[in-house]
Structure 1
Amino acid sequence: MTLAADISRYLDHLTVERGAAANTVSSYRRDLERYRRYLDRRGISALDAVAEEDIREFLVELRRGDADAGFAPLADSSIARTLVATRRFHKFAVDEGIVATDVAHDVRPPRAARRLPKSLPVDEVLAILDAAGADDHPRGLRDRALLEFLYSCGARISEATSLDIDDLDLDDMRAVRLRGKGGKERLVPLGGPAVDALEAYLVRGRPALVSRATPALFLNARGGRLSRQSAWQVLVTAAERAGLDKAVSPHTLRHSFATHLLDGGADVRVVQELLGHASVTTTQVYTLVTVNTMREVYAVAHPRAR
C-alpha cells in the first residue's frame, strides 16, 4: 500500500474505531500529510522503508522550515504535536501488521526552549510609576499605590488583589504578609515610595471609594475588591501614559523586581524567598534566610528600597 493509503486507513481508524473528534482528525490529517510530503521528497514511498533517522531529520526540518516546500519553521509545541501524530501512526502500522518495527518509538519531541522572563529597565519602571495616579483623585491614589506595591515587593497580581488592610504593617515592620500558591505565607519588606503611596491611598483615597464594610485593601470604583483584570488595566494605562510601546503585565513588574534585585547584588536565594518560589526540595535552604537578612539585602539591592 502507498503512504497515502496507509494514512487514510489510520484516519478512518481514528474516526470510526476511536471516535476521535472532527477537529482532532483534521489536525492529524494535516500533520501526517506534511510527513508524507517530507518522505516523498526523500524518495520514500512506503512505511517499511522509513528509518528512525528519517523521522529525526523530519523534526529538524520542522524546526528550521523549508522554503522550497513552502512552509515556515514551526514552534516547539507544534513540532511536538506533529511528532505525536507521526508516532501514533507508526504504532498503528505495527499493530495492524503493515510493518514489523516501530521506528518512531524512540524518537522524542524537542525540549521546549526555556523562555526567560521579560523585565523592564529601571528607568522604564520608574516612568510607569510616575505616570500612575498623576492626580490626587481617589482612584489615582489607588493606582499609584498598587503599582508601587507590585514593584516594591514583587507580588503576584492575585496576591495583591486578595490583600486585606490587616496584612500591611506600614509602621514598625514596613512589610506585607503575602499569601502565595498553596496558601503559603511570606513576609516581604516594602520600600519607602511604596509605603508613602500606600499611606496616601489609605488616608485620602480608600475612604472615598469604600461603600460598605470590607477588609479589602485595593478597592474598585463601586467599593468592592479590585479584580485582577482591573488591576492589569491600571498597569496598561500607566504604561501608555509613560509612552512605552511594549506590552506589559503585572508579571512584568514581578520579573523586573527580581531582575533589579539580582543586578544589585542580591543573593538568588533571598530573591526566591521574596518571590515565594520555595519548593519541596529547596524549602530547607530558604528557611535559613531570616526576615532580617531579607530586609538588609532588600535595603541595599532594591533601587526603591529607601
Structure 2
Amino acid sequence: MSVVAFPGQPGSVPDPATGMTTMVAVERFLDSLATVTTRVGYAETLARLTAVAGPAHPVDDLTPEHYAAVMDRWKTAAAATWNRHLSALCSFTTWAQRQDILATNPARRLERRKPARRGDRSIPRTRLETLFTDIGHALRERLLWRFLYDTAARAEEVLTLNVEDLDLEFRRARVVSKGGAIEYVHWATPTARLLPRLLTGRTTGPVFLADRRAPASGPRTPAAADIDPTTGRGRLSYPRAEYLFKTASAKLDPHRQGWTLHQLRHSALQHLAQAGRTTPELQAKSRHQHLASLGRYVRLGEETSARVTAEADPIQRRRPR
C-alpha cells in the first residue's frame, strides 16, 4: 500500500521557538527509552508515523486520521502484532503529552485486539529439526532459529546481541531483558557448532547482520552500534527475521501460514516441560519474573493430570504389583 501523506494546513510549519516536528519528537522519544529492545521495537512503528504525517509536520497537529493510516499497514496482522504497534503509538502519545507538545490523543479511536484463544502453539520437534538442518536455508537463519530454541530467549533480545555479548567458552550470552536487567541465556551443542561459522572471526558489531550495507546518511541511518565496522552491514531487523521464518516454515505448517519467532521460545519451554522439567527450572530457563507467567506456555493437559493423580493415589500405591 502506498504511503498516505497528510499535508499540514497553510502556515502549519512549526515555529522553531515553540513547535516541534514529528520527526524531531519521534527521535527524542526514542532517545528517552532506556531499554534497547523497546527502542528497536518502537522504531518501526514510529518511522511509519513519520512517513505518513511527513517529517516536518507539527507534532501538535497529529490527528486520529494519521494514526489510523499508520495502523492500516497491520490491519490484517495477528492481534499480538496489532497490539504491539498500537502500544508504540500510545507510548509516544503519552510521552508527547507529558512534554506539552501534544494536547490531544490521536490514538483515542484505536482499540487493542483480543488475541484468539489457541490450543498448543508449540512446534513438533521433528519439524523444527527439519528446519534447523535444511541447508537450503541460509546459515544466518538456521543459526538464529536454533539459537532461539536452544536459549528459549525472546527474539528481540537475540537480535540485539553484539559479538561482544557472547561467551563462546561457557556457551552463554549477555542479554538485556524486557525490564532492562542484564541476564544470561545458554545454548547447546548445535548452536555452539554454528556460531563460529557465522562470526568468521568478527569480534565486534551485531551478531546477526542484514543482507545489505546500512544507509550512510539520512533518517534511516542506524546507530553506530547497529553497524558492523568491517562490512558496513546493519543489524538484522525483527520484521525481516520474522518474515524469513514464516516463509521458510509455511511448507511445514499444516495451516500453510508459517510460524512466528516467538513460537520457538514457546516450543522450547513446552518441550522442556514435557521432558519433566520442574516449574522453577522452567522459570530459570525462561527468566519470567513470576511463576504464573509460565501458565501461558506450559499446559501439559489431561494425560499429565491423570498420571499425577494416579501416582499420588495412596490406595494405588499400596496395591501389590
With the shorter chain as reference, the TM-score category is: 0.3 to 0.5
Q: TM-score, normalised by structure 1?
A: 0.47
Larger radius of gyration: 1
TM-score (norm 2): 0.45
* RCO comparison, higher one (Cα < 8 Å, 6+): 1
Determine which structure has the larger helix proportion and give its number: 1
